[in-house]
Structure 1
Amino acid sequence: MAHYLVDGIVLRSYKLGETDRILHILSPNLGLVRGVAKGVRKPGSRFGGRLEPYGHVSVQMYEGRSLDTVTQVELITPNVGVREDWVASACAATMAEACDKLAQQGERATGMFLLLKDSLSVLAAGPNRPAAVLDAFLLRLAALEGFRPSLDTCITCGSTTDIAAFHVGGGVLCSRDTPADLQRISHEALAALTLLAEGDWTTIAQDDAPLPRSVASLVRAYLSHHLATTLKAWESVPR
């Protein structure tokens, strides 16, 4: 049995018994870490509010037979602004759910951790377009996980001209390769997808102009296709 240190972001927690909580933490070095915080739901718990979802923490864990135990917690960045705003919280919950599904125990997840850390920081600052921050996060997460959508080259023939549609299987199609039953994509929607996938966070978060309504649907369809599931937290994100 040994102690070890986990630097990470709390993705979720849920009740265990009458006073404990199970935690899922995303660590850059250890990937997905699961552990139990004993007595955390008791009044006056020494962990207090330091293990709330979306907080960046440094946690000391003690190895157990089936589940490791939290013994010490240092709160690095609370991201309180995320939890206090219901729209930002819904977006963060969707980000966390995606990471929880994709991160693996014992496997490095540096890119995923840094992406989540940056995205939560943007949400905590009170963006004008929190849902756009979520969509940008998801497209960039897709790229990290090896299923980056092609947004400038037809996925069938390689053409970079006459882009006409977006296919959830991999990205854009030119007009020649677009099936008759596939909805066309507007220049505005394609530009918005490119901004979300590659643009700077300030423009994505603070621009007052709404994104084309089709963009969120395309991002959702693309992620659902490649994850082979729909993120439950998506349902609470207003559009």
Structure 2
Amino acid sequence: MGIADRKQREKEERRTLILKKAKELILERGVDFLSMQEIADSAELSKAALYLYFPGKEAILSAILEEAATTFMDYAKERTNPEASGIEAIHSLWKGFLDFYGESEDIFLLTGINRSVNPGFPIEGFGETGNAPMESLLAFIAAYLERGMSDGTTMEGIDPVKSARIIVMVATSIIDQAARLPRQARDAKKIQEILRETLEIILRGFAGPQAPREALRLGSPIRN
């Protein structure tokens, strides 16, 4: 490996370390209390060196948000049958959401950072545009709702995009409330159960005449 390649690898490793330390601080204390000095201290860097990698706190938060959102989207897509009906695809997405929550704290990063970076999201007209990670999630949900209207498994006459925004707002609000608790006080099993019940209500609310009954229940959450 040449000198240039080695320096590039070291730079990438240092960037990864910075994001890792920032995540740990967010999960322990929340986004609002995060500072560049804390991140620098945790990564054993000078504050000046940290600014060589990221121009500010928001850039770090945006990088973590994109990574967490991409991880969840990949996780969900792997568990969704492209040939499924609209309501079945939404069911798979919700099941993936619950399983992802049960396996990873990235869901707290996803909702908490998004609230900080774009506090108006997902309410139309209040959030900033160009929030690619979360807009991708909205588009994913809206496409399934639209598919469901075509195949009769979701109700007719709804606005898929507005409905997707409402769904995301409800789900992320539950996670965001949990994220405000001290890390050791978060009862993951209880929160997961609340999410499951809420998402089942949403499934039934959007169900059309052709929706199979089994697609309206999410089953028991994963036990940690």
TM-score (norm 1): 0.28
Which of 1 and 2 has higher RCO (CA within 8 Å, sep 6+)?
2
Write 1 or 2 for the structure with the bigger share of strand.
1
Write 1 or 2 for the structure with the bigger share of helix.
2
